[in-house]
């Protein structure tokens, strides 16, 4: 099972999201092909209602503790309630370019 699939399955089971996007952005970084090390995760769930942003991120980090101790080097989180998601036009910002250099983005390794 891929890392992305494990992330997806864990979050679906724990948070019953209305929307979940698990995007492997490893190819944008200076890592070996197939590394599965950099992810952008967007989660829209009623489970976040009443939680601060920090509490939401801590919750997700706890759920993904095994992945964060192993293959996952970077995890960009966008955690929203359904009302927040609608208010922001159902979109998240683009990920910033790799700061460590990436051949995929025309930078030297």
Looking at per-residue confidence, does 96 or 40 come out higher? 40
The listed CATH number (3.60.21.10, 3.30.420.40, 3.30.300.90, 3.10.180.10) that belongs to domain 3-88: 3.30.300.90
- The answer to whether the predicted template modeling score (pTM) of the entire model surpasses 0.95 is no
d(CA 44, CA 21): 9
Query: What integer is the mean pLDDT of 64-89?
Result: 94
Q: Which of helix, strand or coil describes residue 106?
A: coil
Model confidence pLDDT, tens digit, residues 14-38: 999 999 999 988 777 777 677 787 8
Query: Which residues touch 72 (CB under 8 Å, ≥6 apart)?
Result: 3, 7, 36, 37, 38, 39, 64
Give the residue extent of every domain in the chain. 3-88
Inform me whether the pLDDT recorded for 107 exceeds 60: no
Q: Give the pLDDT of residue 101.
A: 55
Q: Give the pLDDT of residue 2.
A: 93
Model confidence pLDDT, tens digit, residues 31-75: 767 778 788 999 999 999 999 999 999 999 999 999 999 888 889
């Amino acid at each position: 099972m891929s890392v992305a699939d494990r992330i997806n399955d864990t979050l679906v089971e724990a948070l019953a999201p209305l929307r979940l996007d698990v995007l492997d952005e490893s190819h944008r970084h200076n890592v070996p092909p197939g590394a599965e090390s950099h992810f952008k995760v967007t989660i829209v769930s009623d489970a976040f209602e009443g939680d601060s942003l920090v509490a939401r991120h801590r919750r997700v980090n706890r759920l993904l503790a095994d992945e964060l101790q192993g293959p996952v080097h970077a995890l960009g989180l966008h955690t929203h309630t359904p009302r927040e998601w609608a208010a922001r036009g159902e979109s998240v910002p683009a990920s910033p370019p790799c700061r460590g250099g990436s051949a995929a983005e025309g930078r030297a390794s």
